[in-house]
């Protein structure tokens, strides 16, 4: 039985969050939890959830529990605030024990699972920088498999305990990072792969981590969501049977073989096609991205259409949603 739409009353009053219901009053089959970066708030990611507008998916944007010091705007996820005495910059990884417990206990276990009736498999995370680090630590702390974690420029914290090699976490992970100057170093990737069984890495050709800025960067994220979100695209099978593959890995509770039921398609790479087709353009409600976070050398997005899924055989929509255009993308990157 699918979960019900969460309300703020389902969560502890100490947790600040916003809830975006699925489109067209649909019953939610998934929950997408959005975690912002250091120095930002949940409001920017609330806009992102509204404009992604995934079918049968409720979006919950959670604000980090700790405000920045010195009357600075924004919030952070760390256990402490440490400044580099040479550069004056804040240390990104100061441990996330408290924030991990807030998300793990107050959002997932007490709220989404106990009160709303979702399973861990129906909960998927998207986090930027520090938010991605928290999402990864939450996933690593759960025995159950989550729907997945997408981390943009965020690695697993050095304070997170490593799992025994024969007990790696089964939650699939997608990490997107810059080709140079990334917080996700080679040693950080090794740590991720030592913790999670299934880690996909997408390297963007840019200097420094940041949110996705064009269709090529957005495509692998949409493909990941297409594989992991439980969405009934009308292929003639129940929702819980409609999505059963992730990166070629059978779901533990798979009750139907797609080859024995031609109307029930597996969500492999090809499944990105319908999700990309239905994802709306954001041109109707553009929100300007501050010019201070734009790379002046970033090439124009004109003509940057994607004709096909690189690893599949089914064509995707002729272009991805315009939600990643610098002129329309809603998310402020904060101070990180």
Phi/psi region, residue 328 (left: phi>0; alpha: psi -120 to 50; beta: rest), is: alpha
How high is the pLDDT of residue 249?
A: 36
- pLDDT beyond 70 at 203: yes
Phi, psi (deg, nearest 5) at residue 175: -115, 125
Q: Are strands 66-67 and 75-76 parallel, antiparallel or unpaired?
A: antiparallel
Spatial neighbors of 167 by CB under 8 A, at least 6 apart, are none
How high is the pLDDT of residue 3?
A: 86
Number of H helices and E strands in the chain, helices first, is 7, 11
More confident residue, 147 or 306: 147
- pLDDT beyond 70 at 234: no
User: Using CA atoms, how far apart are residues 186 and 179, in angstroms rounded to an integer?
Assistant: 11
More confident residue, 167 or 45: 45
Q: Which residue stretches of the chain are H helix? A: 42-52, 97-101, 130-141, 186-195, 215-228, 239-242, 272-278
Least confident of 21-30, 125-134, 326-335: 326-335
Closest CA to 242 of 225, 228, 221, 224: 228
How high is the pLDDT of residue 60?
A: 98
Least confident of 15-19, 150-154, 217-221, 265-269: 265-269
What value does the mean pLDDT of the chain take? 74
pLDDT (tens digit, 9 = 90+) per residue, 30-73? 999 999 998 899 999 999 999 899 999 999 999 999 998 877 88
Strand (E) or helix (H) holding 310? none
Least confident of 86-95, 122-131, 175-184, 321-330: 321-330
- pLDDT beyond 60 at 286: no
Percent of the residues in the chain that have a pLDDT greater than 90, as a whole number: 52
User: Using CA atoms, how far apart are residues 45 and 334, in angstroms rounded to an integer?
Assistant: 12
- pLDDT beyond 80 at 105: yes
More confident residue, 13 or 89: 13
- pLDDT beyond 60 at 309: no
More confident residue, 114 or 297: 114
Spatial neighbors of 208 by CB under 8 A, at least 6 apart, are 178, 180, 181, 182
Mean of pLDDT values over 197-205:
96
Q: What is the DSSP letter of 330?
A: -
């Amino acid at each position: 039985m699918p979960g019900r739409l969460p309300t703020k009353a389902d969560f502890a009053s100490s947790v600040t969050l916003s809830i975006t219901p699925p489109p067209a009053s649909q019953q939610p089959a998934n929950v997408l939890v959005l975690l912002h970066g250091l120095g930002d708030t949940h409001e920017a990611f609330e806009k992102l959830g509204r404009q992604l507008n995934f079918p049968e998916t409720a979006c919950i944007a959670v604000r980090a529990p700790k405000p920045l010091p010195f009357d600075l705007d924004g919030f952070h996820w760390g256990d402490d605030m440490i400044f580099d005495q040479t550069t004056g910059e804040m240390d990104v990884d100061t441990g996330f024990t408290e924030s991990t417990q807030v998300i793990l206990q107050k959002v997932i276990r007490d709220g989404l699972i106990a009160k709303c009736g979702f399973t861990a498999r129906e909960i998927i995370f998207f986090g930027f920088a520090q938010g991605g680090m928290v999402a990864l630590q939450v996933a690593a702390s759960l025995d159950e498999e989550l729907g997945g974690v997408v981390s943009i420029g965020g690695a697993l914290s050095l304070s997170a305990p490593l799992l025994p090699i024969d007990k790696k976490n089964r939650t699939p992970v997608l990490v997107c990072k810059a080709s140079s100057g990334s917080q996700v170093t080679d040693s950080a990737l090794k740590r991720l792969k030592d913790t999670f069984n299934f880690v996909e890495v997408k390297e963007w050709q840019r200097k420094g981590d940041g949110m996705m800025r064009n269709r090529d960067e957005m495509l692998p994220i949409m493909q990941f969501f297409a594989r992991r979100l439980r969405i009934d695209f009308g292929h003639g099978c129940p929702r819980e049977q409609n999505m059963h593959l992730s990166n070629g890995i059978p779901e533990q509770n798979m009750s139907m073989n797609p080859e024995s039921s031609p109307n029930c398609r597996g969500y492999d790479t090809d499944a990105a096609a319908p999700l990309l087709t239905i994802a709306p353009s954001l041109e109707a409600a553009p929100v300007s991205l501050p010019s201070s976070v734009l790379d002046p050398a970033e090439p124009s997005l004109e003509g940057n259409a994607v004709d096909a899924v690189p690893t599949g055989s089914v064509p995707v929509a002729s272009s991805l949603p315009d939600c990643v255009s610098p002129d329309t993308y809603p998310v402020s990157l904060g101070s990180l």
